[in-house]
Every structure is written in C-alpha cells, then in structure tokens.
Amino acid sequence: MRRKILAGNWKMNLTPLEARQLIRALRAAIDPEAAALARDRDVLVAPPAVSLAAAAQELAGSNIALAAQNMHYEDQGAFTGEVSAPMLKALGATHVILGHSERRHLFGESDELINRKVRAAVKHRLVPILCVGETQQEHDAGKTTEVILRQTRSGLEGLDGRAAARAIIAYEPVWAIGTGRTATPAQASLVHGTIREIVAERFGTECAGAVRVLYGGSVTPDNVDGLIASHDIDGALVGGASLKADSFARIVRTRAA
Ligand code: PEP
C-alpha cells in the first residue's frame, strides 16, 4: 500500500516572512488532525530557496516535510546563483523537485541535466521529485507516451532499484499547469500506468509497485478527491492552490487518500 503524498510547489512566491505566515495558518488548520493524517499520507511544501530556512523553523515539530524546487548537481564551486544538495540539506530539506516543466521550458533544462541533478540528489539522500509531462503541442500530436518514456527513462538513468523505488515521479501535463485545465482521472491514470511500466521494465515489478507517481496540473480542493481516488495516482503536486492555507489544507485532508 503506497502512502499518498500531497505536495505544495510555491514556485517564485512568498518571502521568508510570508512563508512563515502561510505555514502557521496551514498548521493551525491541519495540526489538530495531524496524527490521523499522518497514518496514510505525507505532506510537503516547497518554498523558494530564500524561504527554506524560515519555513524549516515554522515546520519544526510538524509532520510536514520540506522540499526545494531545484538544485545544481555539483556540491559547490563557481556556479553563480545556484544552490547545491548539501546546502539544501543544511537548511532541512528532505526532498527536491527536479525537472519541473518551468525549468525545462523556461530555462532550457535538458533530460541529461535533469538526470545529473537526480543522481546528485540521490547521492546526498534527498528524495527527488522528478517531473515529467508533455506540452499541448505534443499532446495534440499524440506524442504523450513518447515524451513520458523519454523523460522518465532519462530522469532515472543510473539509479539502482532502491533509489528508484524511493524516488517520486510527478506527471504534470504542461497544458494543465496553471491553466485551470486538469487531466481527467482516466487520462492521468493511463499515463501513470505507463510510468509504472517504464519503471518495471528497468527496475523490476517490486520497484514499480513501490514508486509513487503524483499528478500535477491545476489541482484544486474541488477536483483532488476524484484524482486521488484512482489507484494509480499516489497524490498531487499542487501549485496555485497551495498558496492559500485553506485550499491546501482542504487538499491535504482529501477524503480519498
Ligand atoms: C505545478 O507548478 O507543479 C503545478 C501543478 O501548478 P498548478 O497547480 O498551479 O497548475
């Protein structure tokens, strides 16, 4: 039985002070149910790098884990503007989102670069949340499976079965991110099944049964239950709706988890 994951990606939003305020409000909403929620689900938030330290302080004593949104694959060096896995770990991060479509498409990150980051995260015992997903154009051209195959295979290249089983994969169709258009549970399930087949082919069925595959793309309190109810959808990576304590708290409490 895979534990569900409800993860909030804050993107380039919230200063350290604002991050503290949001976490306080979120904790006020979900802490009373924390023990019950912790039985079958993991919750995490991914603030921007500058707000990680403040977020870590506010999360102390909670069951909410801390994720970063990106990192460099080297530990240190002449990489102006970058942060490394050891730096993220020093701030209390346990997870890192890698290969988000905004990194791929706005900042030109290649499959190869993303794989280097995934391997560096694993080396430092940060759990990678590898994002994969097709653009609208690829979707319309019937290339979804091809894109998912390439991004998933490449993203997990060089990992052993144990690391792959611990990794989290987020299927985020680019056409659904921030657009208000969500994949239907059936559409998402189909792709999640494909991702699990790719993992099985490379790492075996036990690993494929353990790896958690999240859906992301305009998840809201209104559609989360329908998505999470699907056996193949192990949780949600949430952008916009994670920036308000009440909406993310409702998503965290999803009945179907
Ligand atoms: C995301 O940024 O990962 C995301 C899914 O955003 P949104 O929920 O706003 O579509």
* 7: enclosing H helix or E strand: strand 4-9
With a 6 Å cutoff on the Cβ, whether 181 touches ligand 1 is no
Distances (CA, A) of 221 to 66, 174, 189: 21, 20, 19
Tokens linked to 118: 């995934």
Beta-carbon neighbour count of residue 255 at 10 Å?
Answer: 8
Among the listed ranges 31-35, 124-128, 215-219, which one has the minimum average pLDDT value?
Answer: 31-35
| Phi/psi of residue 59, nearest 5 degrees | -85, -10
With a 6 Å cutoff on the Cβ, whether 238 touches ligand 1 is yes
Which residue range(s) make up the domain with 85? 4-252
Q: Is residue 257 part of a domain?
A: no
Rounded to an integer, what distance in angstroms lies between the CA atom of residue 17 and that of residue 20? 5
Q: Does pLDDT of 28 surpass 80?
A: yes
Q: Does pLDDT of 257 surpass 70?
A: no
Beta strand 212-216 with 235-238 is parallel
User: Which one from 95, 100, 139, 192 is the annotated catalytic residue?
Assistant: 100
Give the 3-state secondary structure of residue 189. Answer: helix
Ligand 1 atom closest to the Cα of residue 176 is 10
**Mean pLDDT for all residues in the chain:** 97
CATH number at residue 14: 3.20.20.70
Taking residues 109-122, what's their average pLDDT? 98
Predicted structure pTM score: 0.97
Is 58 noted as a catalytic residue in this protein?
no
Rounded to an integer, what distance in angstroms lies between the CA atom of residue 185 and that of residue 162? 29
Tokens linked to 109: 């990150």
Contact predicate 156/195, CB 8 Å: no
Q: What share of the chain is helix, strand, coil (3-state, %, to 5)?
A: 50, 15, 35
Distances (CA, A) of 81 to 37, 77, 90, 202, 246: 37, 11, 17, 35, 33
Is 139 noted as a catalytic residue in this protein?
no
Q: Is residue 127 part of a domain?
A: yes
With a 6 Å cutoff on the Cβ, whether 218 touches ligand 1 is yes
Rounded to an integer, what distance in angstroms lies between the CA atom of residue 48 and that of residue 52? 7
Ligand 1 atom closest to the Cα of residue 100 is 3
Taking residues 93-116, what's their average pLDDT? 98
Q: Does pLDDT of 62 surpass 70?
A: yes
The rounded percent of the chain whose pLDDT value lies above 90 is: 98
Contact predicate 170/208, CB 8 Å: no
pLDDT digit string (tens) for 175-213?
A: 999 999 999 999 999 999 999 999 999 999 999 999 999
Rounded to an integer, what distance in angstroms lies between the CA atom of residue 54 and that of residue 246? 20
Rounded to an integer, what distance in angstroms lies between the CA atom of residue 146 and that of residue 129? 20
Looking at the 3D structure of the chain, how many domains does it have? 1
| CA-atom Rg of the chain in angstroms | 17
Q: Does pLDDT of 15 surpass 80?
A: yes
Beta-carbon neighbour count of residue 82 at 10 Å?
Answer: 15
